[in-house]
Each structure stands twice: as structure tokens, then as C-alpha cells.
């Protein structure tokens, strides 16, 4: 379980750093260069993922509850919605007029539903921790970026591409 926690914390700190310590990030980039910064960031992200994967594999799940059938069906709909938001964030869609950070919002929904569906300790720590990170990241980015400048709406036909891609 310790490796899962270390992985989630490392992932969260690394991703929150550009949003919460923007000036410090610029200072680091000026010191070591953008290439080395990206390489270091990438290596540390891989390390965080490795910690989460090895932590998951080496932690026996302790069941806390079993999800009943009603939340199960609702959770599947929400998981699909989360995947749709993550996919839609890569396209010019009306979703971006409704949700400022669709990728993070989708990820938070996806992770929260996995935490709730699995009902064991390691899932709650891993997916719950990642959902919490995504929510904090949304607020941190909103503070850093200031007022939201909504994009222009695309044609209705362009709306189908992310919908079909996410299926």
C-alpha cells in the first residue's frame, strides 16, 4: 500500500507543480533548460506510475463493501461519461464551452467511479487519490489562469467525432 501512496503523491505533486508554483517552474526551466526539465518530468511521472503499478500488484485487496446493482449501472454510465470528456478534450467541441477542463473532469469522474465500484482499500487509495488530485488540479488551474475565455462553438457535425471515438 505504501508504494501506491508514494506513487499517487508523486504523480500529484509533479502535476500540481506547474499550476501552483508557476514562477518556480520557469526558474527551474531557465536553470536546466526545457529539454532536461521535460526529461526529468517524464522520468518522475514514469516512476510514479511504476510505484502505483507495483504497489497495486503487491498489495492484497481488503474488501470494504460490495457495490449494489443500482450504483453499478450508474457508475458504468458515469465511467463512459468520464471517458467521453477525456476524449472530447482533444477535439473542438461544445463540451469545452460547458466545462473548462474536460480532460481533468472526465478523469476525476472515471477515477472516482473506479474507487466506488471496486470497494477495496487499494482501489480507494489509488483511484480516490487520483480523483482528489484531478479536482485539486482543476481549482489550481482556474486560480492560475484567471478568467475563462470560452472557445467558439464548432459545427454540429464536428460533435460526432469525439462521441464515436470514445465508444
DSSP string, 69-116: HHHHHHHHHHHHHHHHHHHHTTS--THHHH-S-HHHHHHHHHHHHHHH
Average pLDDT score over residue span 47-72: 91
**Threshold 0.75, pTM exceeds:** yes
Return the domain boundaries, the chain: 1-59, 61-167
Return the higher-pLDDT residue of 133 and 67. Answer: 133
Q: How confident is the model at residue 43 (pLDDT cuts 50, 70, 90)?
A: very high
Q: Among 78-92, 100-114, 141-155, whose mean pLDDT is lowest?
A: 141-155
Q: Does 165 score more than 80 pLDDT?
A: no
Q: Among 12-16, 122-126, 163-167, whose mean pLDDT is lowest?
A: 163-167
Tell me, what's the pLDDT at 152?
82
- CA trace torsion 43, 45, 47, 51 (10° rounding): -170
Tell me, what's the pLDDT at 70?
64
DSSP string, 33-73: -HHHHHHHHHHHHHHHHHHHHHHHHTS---B-----HHHHH
Q: Does 157 score more than 80 pLDDT?
A: no
Amino acid at each position: 500500500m505504501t508504494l501506491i501512496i508514494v506513487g499517487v503523491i508523486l504523480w500529484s505533486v509533479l502535476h500540481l507543480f506547474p499550476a501552483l508554483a508557476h514562477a518556480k517552474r520557469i526558474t527551474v526551466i531557465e536553470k536546466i533548460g526545457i529539454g532536461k526539465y521535460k526529461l526529468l518530468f517524464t522520468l518522475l511521472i514514469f516512476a510514479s506510475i511504476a510505484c502505483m503499478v507495483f504497489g497495486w500488484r503487491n498489495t492484497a485487496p481488503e474488501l470494504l463493501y460490495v457495490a449494489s446493482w443500482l450504483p453499478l449501472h450508474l457508475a458504468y454510465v458515469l465511467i463512459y461519461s468520464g471517458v467521453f470528456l477525456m476524449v472530447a478534450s482533444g477535439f473542438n467541441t461544445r463540451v469545452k464551452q460547458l466545462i473548462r477542463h474536460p480532460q481533468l473532469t472526465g478523469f476525476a469522474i472515471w477515477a472516482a467511479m473506479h474507487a466506488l465500484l471496486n470497494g477495496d482499500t487499494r482501489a480507494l487509495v489509488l483511484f480516490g487519490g487520483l480523483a482528489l488530485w484531478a479536482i485539486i488540479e482543476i481549482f489550481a488551474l482556474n486560480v492560475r489562469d484567471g478568467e475563462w475565455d470560452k472557445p467558439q462553438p464548432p459545427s454540429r457535425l464536428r460533435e460526432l467525432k469525439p462521441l464515436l471515438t470514445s465508444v
